[in-house]
Structure 1
Amino acid sequence: MPLFTRFPAILVFILASATAFAQSGSIKGVVKTSDGQAAPFVNVALKEINKGTTTSEDGSFVLKNIKAGSYTLITSFVGFQPQEKQIDIAAGEVTVVDFTLSENSEQLQEIVISDSRSLNEKTVEIGKAGIKPMDLPQSLIVIDKTVLENQQAGRLSDVLVNTSGIYLMGATGGVQEEIAGRGFSYGSNNTFKNGVRFNNGVMPEISSLERVEVLKGSAAILFGNVTAGGVLNLVTKKPKFQDGGELSFRTGSYDFYKPSLDIYGSVNNSSKVAYRMNTSYENARSFRDNVTSERIYFNPSFIIKAGKKTEILVEGDYLKDNRTLDYGTGAVNYEIADVPRSRFLGASWSYYKAEQKSATITINHALNDNWTLNVLGSYQGFYNDQYGTTRPNASSQFVRTDGRWVRGLQRSGTDQDYYIVQANLTGKFSTGSIKHQVLFGADNDKYENTAQAYAYENPAITGNNKNVYDTINVYNLSLYQQRTDIPTMRLTSTTENPSQRVGVYVQDLISILENVKLLAGIRYSYMESGTDKTKTYDDAFSPRLGIVYQPLKEMSVFASYANSFTLNTGLDVNNERLAPSVIDQYEVGIKNEFLKGFLSANITAYQIVNSNLAQSVLPIPDDAINKSNPQELAGEVTSKGVELDVMSKPINGISIIAGYSYNDTRYTESSQYINNSRLRYNPSHTANASVYYTFSNSFLKNFNVGFTTFYIGERVAGRSTRTTVANDTYKLMAIPNYFLFDLSAGYSFDQISVRAKVSNLLNELSYNVHDDNSVNPIAPRMFTATLSYKW
């Protein structure tokens, strides 16, 4: 039976589960200031049972699962007079309570705080279950739009300088950003946009983002075969019923310019339908000679209130990205070539063309006060075509010590269609004195992948290797005449590689006591891959168990275990396909709130062990059926480390983000590589800090200044040293550490704002390196400015 035909039965099961639970009373309302404006992030609590929440951006709040009785509902927020109201709760009914806050001048003289939530108050959408961070035995971090705007983030790597232990591991071809964390790559399986897997073969657009969520550690119970280390979720801006928008223009060094438009509002003044449209255009040269880029982006969305309990969100996403294919400055004998940072070694016409489009519909339906059903369906199409000269040192065409390099040609193409349907049922109930916050879920997705391969045969060349375009010298480009023509390449193969998977999962946050909570769950995943003649099948269970102890309301101590898995394509000595490799992850940590929630400081320690890593069987047994590189699940990779995250709410105009991470990822058992040797691309140390200050009580009112720093330690690239090779065919190459320092300033008056930024102020030089054949230097000192108008 096809996997997609199984999904309706799973959905019926989830819907049926909801009928077993009765309604209970709830409270909802809106908090406004005395001038009628919405009051976000106000604390709202029931005095008698110490149960509370904070208001959302529109000032609304909801408290669910409250036993019938009389209560005192209180609101509090720095700078406003606290308020209390006596209310009565009846089972099965919703009590509506609204507040209007008045300013407290005495408090305002003591401290000024902008509307915001602390790090440990930001529930992540990618977590599906809506668990509060203090209750979650897992590390997370959220970077919101205020940070994105202040720092004028242009690429995902600009955002991630605010996260500990998440870093750029490569920039292959200069066309994508390869992200990693805790020693493991965040590939397309680990990268999400609005909760849907996102192909990161192209740089995502940042201008449309509301926030970026990082959920560290294992997420296999939620998504199946994600690799270890964590997942990344890009959350776009949503429709609003109040009319407004922003028009901005950004410009910068190397002829960079980017106009963008963000408009939103109700459709025909409707209270049921609202829209939002984000769009931008970008065109730029580069600090790299002959390198250019051009991209266009559209992100329309609509929200439909189909009833009091049902909300439908429809989102579209389109990105077209064309840029020069650029494999960097090259390496000579596993040493970075001593050439200018700007030197381009590819053919002048080399290109990378990518197009990505998606459509997503999300339905949220409140079954009652305690139970909510979320159903999502999404399609994503991805296409790319890249053509240019080969990577330096690829295909046995190494750059010689004198700089001479024989360039070949390479071309490839990808067509990918991705479909997903998923349903999640979340709810709360009690069994006696024990409270439960549960998640039932199922998902079904499939990929239709087609890859095109091409070959070039130089008619002037005889012999085996006809893939020769021309010859250059990386140290002196004038020594040889470079070709400028674009040869025709022959399409040699079109390979289809479809895959699909289905998963069902259940998770329960059990409040054993008010300050002791247990998170337990399990997922079953079933996968098919390949065409009918080559189809393979895999399945795996992914358990999760964590405990949280809160000795104080402001402190949470946790420990957890979870596993994830990766699929293997190798064959064993009996010519049988290998089972998935299971990766065990252990995590302990402490989450703290200081200064009445103004400052969050969290520290986490972890160990990730893949003790059944696929590796070559050496020596090959005489009776082996498979004599061609048979594999076995006997290798081991271990990653361990510590992470510190610090984040403040804006206090008296000051906001702070800081972090530090230590990671050590090594082969701890291997037949292919030297035991205890480091895995490539992963720095042992990273550190980050940003401080912003906004003036409020002087002639500089609404003027802000800030700086951002990011340190990434030494790491290795090249080719991991093999135990079976006695010569220097394989070497690791050291990549220098670097320290980035950015300065920013901005000023707002009425509806207009101006921001300026100098990045890499110290003009540091380092590289992002893949193997030894894509050595891409980081950008030099650059200037960016943005002018925007909001209404």
Structure 2
Amino acid sequence: MSRPLPLLLLLSLPLAGFSHASLAATAGELRLAVPAHGADDAARRGWIAGRVTNTEGQAVEGVTVALKGTSYGASTQENGNFRLAAQAGSYQLVVSSIGYATQEVAVTVTGGETITLPAFALAVSSQALTEVTVTGQKSLNQRAMTVGKLPVPTLDLPQSAVTVEREVLEQQQVLRLSDALVNVSGLYVTSTTGGTQEELGSRGFAYGSNNTFKNGVRFNNGIMPEASSLERMEVLKGSAAILYGNVAAGGVLNLVTKKPQFERGGSVGLRVGSFGFWKPTVDVYGAIGDSKKAAFRLNGTYEQGNSFRDVVKSDRVYVNPSLLFELSPKTTLVLEGDYLRDNRTPDYGIGAINYEIPASRTRFLNLAGANNATTQTSATATLTTRLNNTWSLRGVAGFQRYDNELRSASRPTNIVSTPGATYGNWNRGLQRSQTSENYYLAQLDLTGTFNTGFLGHTLLVGADADQYQTNSVAFTTPESALRPGTAVTVYDAINILDRNKELAQPAERLSSFDQLVRNSLTKGNTRRAGFYVQDLMSVSEKVKVLAGVRWSYQETPSDVFNYNTIANINNKIANTYVETRRYDNAFSPRLGVVYQPIKTSSVFASYSNSFSPNSGIDTDGNTLRPSIIQQYEAGIKNDLFNGALSANVTAYQIVNSDQAQTIQPGAPNFNESRPSAQELAGEVTSKGVEVDVQSKPMMGWSLITGYSYNHTSYTKTNTYINGSRLRYNPAHTANLSLFYNFGSAFGDTFLRGLNAGVTTYYVGDRVAGRSTRVNVANDTYRLIEVPNYVQFDASLGYTYNRVGVRVKLANILDELSYNLHDDNSVNPIAPRNFSATVSYKL
């Protein structure tokens, strides 16, 4: 079945010559690409409407309705209706679907009018299926990515890119982003700190909030994003600094939410699963009233569940409203909101003893009353206008509010212990923090497609500015009443291996989180701006060159208020106010060459760099300049078997030759008055290979598979062992998703609505813990070896009329491994578990 084109992709289509206005007018009904060449004339646009049934008069969904010799097309909805837009003219309308005899009829489209055709009654075809041609779905390499900002297929870009569409996410019953990693090689979970978030990484670099986007706007990933609202997931691997400034070198992730549609519809559903999990969802959309100019969509869900981990529980509420306005045939406005309230038990896992993991899946070391409460609210406005046949303008304004309050036992940092009566004993403390953040963004992109002599250009000129306003309150332990001048630091004493073991408790103990006192208030107000230009030049039919540069400016003020606490008095910073200001700017160039020997294949090579601001000072007290990270990438992209299968291979090397490290005592430039001074003396090198293979649905089958190899290590360092691996990055990952949709090939039998599939994901060996320091006498830091694992899942789904049922068995092999942050958040992966979803289409 063909799929709806996401709205943000529709907004970018005019730059490649697509019919944007007609798309917006029929959003939710148009499901095939419109012509790839030629501009749309709003005055000459008309519509074709109709209905398709079988010979018994029952509506047939998913039938392809297309204008022969063009890319104008649609597919029928649940009620059999279709509606498509086209330029005025005479065409042959072809109505086709697997298992049915094709019908063809002549139609004439008149500008400004809607032609309603008599119903088509399709007869079951008795012909054997010898070949299946899939239309209406673009291959992995033919899709354009909104996060890439250029309206061109990724086949034309000298960079690895992967998109995962909504149908795949639904088919795999994705609940968290970590469930979707099976579709992207080299993208992995680095840690799940406190069990409240999923921190992702790629090519040896973490995807922080700077690298994570929703609808093209950065969002705080301190909370797990909601997956039920996703239209697709976009991963642009490698450097994206030219587009977004100081992003990490591994790549960027963009989550695109579902968009409004003019045809009324939607669904309601309920997901239940192991450990008391349940999650109702609702998704409704349609035109506002009878308008053809305004449409809405509303996604929402509530989630509640316990966990395979003792005591751990969670609940969350999510609402995602959006509006689409067609302000004119050339201009659209999309307004989107996002609200997420998430409460869950913070869970720092099972602990580590002597930098080894004492195996367990359920051991819980926090307090039953601990809570991590987060609220995240955002709003985005996207205005797109086609100025003429050459130029298009896109403006984005965004706002996000993030609030978090944490009350938890202290993290179980690695326990140094010797075998015996006290082995595994731990004095448990309390921690508390409050964080609030306002984020503002304004972005403007001008894109154009034109020729200068023999050169063809797809030009992007843009500017952006954003601002983070943060307030962070840190709490510390109070002064002892029995021992003035010292602090009460312990809540209780426990044994992490045997929670029932009775231990002697301290004479004076903390009794509650409310005993903790304010230690500091940190106010940040980071302001950034950037200007960039990028040109994809067609030198010939086979050779393309992508060149561009960005200039970025960043101002990072920080105001720290230290309160009168025992902790601060001991560190001689009581009752102080510290103000710091730093200003950074950097150029980020990009150059790439693409050679396409045939239209479905490309070979590319590229160079780019990114930058990372440094917060430290040098031995003279001056701020450090940003670290510059060089990145080299080369690869091959292929669309095989008439675009049915995309197979891409990429090799890369990333070198951070200016990594900030603390100047060690005894070094010639060491300054005793500034013992924490830093120098740009470190070098980290990441190199690897990635393979991504993705198919269109063909004769019911769909395939996604991949493999990645990465080695990230210190190649120069004054602190750690040269050649030692950086933490959290698996040396190998591999993924496979194989599904079969029985579909219409089985006629009107009960098998028609059945689909089944398997997914498997392999994560190779990793290291965590703490890197050994070569310049510290008797250093106790050690790395922790993290076991590799294979996760194997099976899914089964059945759809009858408007009702769908899906079941999933995850981690069938019941593999045990862990996600680690340092040595203080050792979180086991989930055991074998079951889930089931029932949905009803409105």
TM-score w.r.t. length of structure 2:
0.84
**Deviating more after overlay: 483-492 vs 728-737:** 483-492
| Compared CA separation, residues 280 and 235, structure 1 to 2 (3 A) | same
Equivalent residue in structure 2 for 1:351, among 371, 377, 385: 371
Counterpart in the other structure of 1:719? 770
**Deviating more after overlay: 100-109 vs 747-756:** 100-109
| Compared CA separation, residues 664 and 516, structure 1 to 2 (3 A) | same
Counterpart in the other structure of 1:373? 393
Paired residue type of 1:232: L
Residue 466 of structure 1 and its aligned partner are, at CA, apart by 2.3
Equivalent residue in structure 2 for 1:440, among 449, 461, 469: 461
Q: Distance in 2 between matches of 1:504 and 1:107?
A: 58
Residue 630 of structure 1 and its aligned partner are, at CA, apart by 1.9
Paired residue type of 1:741: F
**Deviating more after overlay: 428-437 vs 638-647:** 428-437
In the alignment, is the contact (CA less than 8 A) between 2:66 and 2:93 conserved in 1? Answer: no
> Are 1:418 and 2:477 matched, yes or no?
no
Residue 486 of structure 1 and its aligned partner are, at CA, apart by 2.6
- Give the count of matched residue pairs: 749
> Are 1:677 and 2:697 matched, yes or no?
no
Equivalent residue in structure 1 for 2:39, among 10, 21, 26: 26
Residue 423 of structure 1 and its aligned partner are, at CA, apart by 0.4
> Are 1:363 and 2:383 matched, yes or no?
yes
Counterpart in the other structure of 2:163? 142
Q: Distance in 2 between matches of 1:583 and 1:653?
A: 44
1:166-207 CA-to-partner distances (Å, cap 9, x unmatched) read 000100000000000000000000000000001000000011
Counterpart in the other structure of 1:579? 625
Unaligned runs of 5+ in 1: 1-23, 47-51, 64-69, 88-93
Residue 519 of structure 1 and its aligned partner are, at CA, apart by 0.6
1:657-709 CA-to-partner distances (Å, cap 9, x unmatched) read 00000000000000011000000000000000011111131541111110000
| Compared CA separation, residues 371 and 108, structure 1 to 2 (3 A) | farther
Q: Matched residue of 1:651: which SS? A: coil
Residue 55 of structure 1 and its aligned partner are, at CA, apart by 7.6
Equivalent residue in structure 1 for 2:501, among 460, 479, 502: 479
Q: Distance in 2 between matches of 1:41 and 1:233?
A: 32
In the alignment, is the contact (CA less than 8 A) between 1:41 and 1:117 conserved in 2? Answer: no
Counterpart in the other structure of 1:310? 331
In the alignment, is the contact (CA less than 8 A) between 2:145 and 2:234 conserved in 1? Answer: yes
Counterpart in the other structure of 1:789? 840
Q: Matched residue of 1:655: which SS? A: strand
1:355-384 CA-to-partner distances (Å, cap 9, x unmatched) read 000011110111012211101111000010
Residue 634 of structure 1 and its aligned partner are, at CA, apart by 2.1
Counterpart in the other structure of 1:508? 535
**Deviating more after overlay: 121-130 vs 670-679:** 121-130
Equivalent residue in structure 2 for 1:172, among 186, 193, 207: 193
Q: Distance in 2 between matches of 1:389 and 1:110?
A: 62
Q: Distance in 1 between matches of 2:132 and 2:193?
A: 48
Q: Distance in 1 between matches of 2:437 and 2:498?
A: 41
Counterpart in the other structure of 1:666? 713
Give the 5 Å matches for 1:214-233.
214-233=235-254
Q: Distance in 2 between matches of 1:760 and 1:242?
A: 39
Residue 460 of structure 1 and its aligned partner are, at CA, apart by 6.6
Q: Distance in 2 between matches of 1:415 and 1:626?
A: 35
Counterpart in the other structure of 2:757? 706
Counterpart in the other structure of 1:594? 640
1:112-132 CA-to-partner distances (Å, cap 9, x unmatched) read 748532111221110111221
**Deviating more after overlay: 164-173 vs 78-87:** 78-87
Give the 5 Å matches for 1:542-553.
542-553=588-599
Paired residue type of 2:489: N
Give the 5 Å matches for 1:708-747.
708-747=759-798
Counterpart in the other structure of 2:821? 770
> Are 1:383 and 2:403 matched, yes or no?
yes
| Compared CA separation, residues 163 and 461, structure 1 to 2 (3 A) | farther
Counterpart in the other structure of 2:288? 267
Residue 96 of structure 1 and its aligned partner are, at CA, apart by 12
> Are 1:621 and 2:643 matched, yes or no?
no
**Deviating more after overlay: 700-709 vs 77-86:** 77-86
Q: Matched residue of 2:151: which SS? A: coil
| Compared CA separation, residues 491 and 676, structure 1 to 2 (3 A) | same
Counterpart in the other structure of 1:633? 680
1:768-790 CA-to-partner distances (Å, cap 9, x unmatched) read 01111100000000000000000
Residue 73 of structure 1 and its aligned partner are, at CA, apart by 11
| Compared CA separation, residues 721 and 622, structure 1 to 2 (3 A) | closer
Residue 494 of structure 1 and its aligned partner are, at CA, apart by 1.1
In the alignment, is the contact (CA less than 8 A) between 2:793 and 2:812 conserved in 1? Answer: yes
Q: Distance in 2 between matches of 1:675 and 1:75?
A: 65
Counterpart in the other structure of 2:519? 492
Paired residue type of 1:299: N
Q: Distance in 1 between matches of 2:122 and 2:682?
A: 64
Counterpart in the other structure of 2:699? 652
Residue 459 of structure 1 and its aligned partner are, at CA, apart by 3.9
Q: Distance in 2 between matches of 1:274 and 1:290?
A: 44
| Compared CA separation, residues 620 and 505, structure 1 to 2 (3 A) | same
Q: Distance in 1 between matches of 2:249 and 2:85?
A: 36
> Are 1:518 and 2:545 matched, yes or no?
yes
Q: Distance in 1 between matches of 2:774 and 2:723?
A: 12
Q: Distance in 2 between matches of 1:554 and 1:103?
A: 34
In the alignment, is the contact (CA less than 8 A) between 1:713 and 1:738 conserved in 2? Answer: yes
Paired residue type of 2:518: L
**Deviating more after overlay: 342-351 vs 385-394:** 385-394
Counterpart in the other structure of 1:604? 650
Q: Distance in 2 between matches of 1:498 and 1:160?
A: 34
Paired residue type of 1:363: L
Paired residue type of 2:193: T
In the alignment, is the contact (CA less than 8 A) between 2:64 and 2:95 conserved in 1? Answer: no
| Compared CA separation, residues 695 and 454, structure 1 to 2 (3 A) | same
Give the 5 Å matches for 1:3-152.
26-27=39-40, 35=51, 110-111=131-132, 113=134, 115-152=136-173
Q: Distance in 2 between matches of 1:41 and 1:506?
A: 40
1:79-114 CA-to-partner distances (Å, cap 9, x unmatched) read 697999999xxxxxx999999999996695533748
Q: Matched residue of 2:580: which SS? A: coil
Counterpart in the other structure of 1:9? none
Unaligned runs of 5+ in 2: 1-36, 53-60, 77-81, 560-578
Counterpart in the other structure of 2:804? 753
Q: Matched residue of 1:222: which SS? A: helix
TM-score w.r.t. length of structure 1:
0.89
Q: Distance in 1 between matches of 2:65 and 2:144?
A: 13
Paired residue type of 1:472: I
| Compared CA separation, residues 30 and 214, structure 1 to 2 (3 A) | farther
Over the matched positions of the two proteins, sequence identity in percent amounts to 49
1:293-314 CA-to-partner distances (Å, cap 9, x unmatched) read 0000000000111111111100
Q: Distance in 1 between matches of 2:722 and 2:375?
A: 42
| Compared CA separation, residues 109 and 461, structure 1 to 2 (3 A) | farther
Give the 5 Å matches for 1:534-545.
534-545=580-591
> Are 1:336 and 2:357 matched, yes or no?
yes
Q: Matched residue of 2:180: which SS? A: helix
In the alignment, is the contact (CA less than 8 A) between 1:453 and 1:493 conserved in 2? Answer: yes
In the alignment, is the contact (CA less than 8 A) between 1:616 and 1:631 conserved in 2? Answer: yes
Paired residue type of 2:302: Y
Paired residue type of 1:351: N
Q: Distance in 1 between matches of 2:777 and 2:631?
A: 35
Q: What CA RMSD, in Å, does the superposition of the two structures yield over aligned residues?
A: 3.2
1:386-413 CA-to-partner distances (Å, cap 9, x unmatched) read 111111127xx65665110111111111
Residue 53 of structure 1 and its aligned partner are, at CA, apart by 9.2
